[in-house]
Amino acid sequence: MSIRNLSIVIGILLSVVGMTQAAYIYDFKVIPDESSNPANAATGEEQLSLEVSSPAANQVLFSFSNTAFNPLPASITDIYYEDTLALLAGINHTIEGPGVDFGQGASPPKLPRGKNLVPAFTETPGLSFDSESPVQPNGVNPNEYLGLLFYLTSGMTLNDVINALNEGNMRIGIHVQGFADGGSETFINDKTPIVPEPTTLTLMSLGLGLLSFRSQTVKVKA
């Protein structure tokens, strides 16, 4: 690569870094049920997290990850949104790691155990997603990730989304399958974020991760 071309690339990278905002990290907590397995619940709470960031003024990116030092089997297969303030105007596209394949329209259409929450979870139409068949292999397995990029309603910002998550006006539920015993659990986002930090997935979604990310228009299930 010539010095001139290298300078251009470095300039682009520095510009992108300068545009990034803080990311807010949320843990997930199991929704208790008489069928819950404490070991599976602990695995999910340890490994699963959500990063919320804004790669552009009118967009918000929800990045789901499944990571741990020594991760155990678990696969995020369904994602449900409760957006009571109508902050999300619609899905833009998905950002899928290798081995992850999601489409719009979760099955089942209702968040499992959602009625156990107080208040009960109310799914927002059009804001649910699940992994394509074969479901478990195409879910978010250990050391995999999924990004859902949404358009924001006009006038709304990342701060509005973070406030809604912290106050319970937006809730995100996930159904997780494929634990070591073959069982499944359902989790809801914690209301308290970890201290904001510069986001990695936002940088990648802006163009730095083209070698490892696969971006596509979201698929709508029939």
pLDDT in tens, 69-108: 999 999 999 999 999 999 999 999 999 999 999 999 999 9
Q: Which residue range is the domain that position 107 belongs to? A: 3-220
- Distance (Å, whole) CA 175 – CA 181: 16
CB atoms within 10 A of CB 211: 6
Contacts 24+ apart (CB under 8 A), 2-8: none
The pLDDT of residue 22 is 81
pLDDT in tens, 154-208: 999 999 999 999 999 999 999 999 999 999 999 999 998 876 655 444 444 444 3
pLDDT in tens, 110-157: 999 999 999 999 999 999 999 999 999 999 999 999 999 999 999 999
Mean pLDDT lowest for which of 32-36, 80-84, 162-166, 218-222?
218-222
The pLDDT of residue 118 is 96
- Return the H-helix or E-strand segment holding 161: helix 158-167
pLDDT of 21 higher than 70? no
Mean pLDDT lowest for which of 15-29, 95-109, 201-215?
201-215
Rounded (10°) CA dihedral 134, 131, 115, 185: 60
The pLDDT of residue 184 is 97
pLDDT tier at 218, thresholds 50, 70, 90: low
Could you identify the residue written with the tokens 């659990």?
A: 185
pLDDT of 32 higher than 70? yes
The pLDDT of residue 194 is 76
- Split into its structural domains, the chain has a count of 1
The pLDDT of residue 200 is 47
pLDDT of 64 higher than 80? yes
The pLDDT of residue 216 is 54
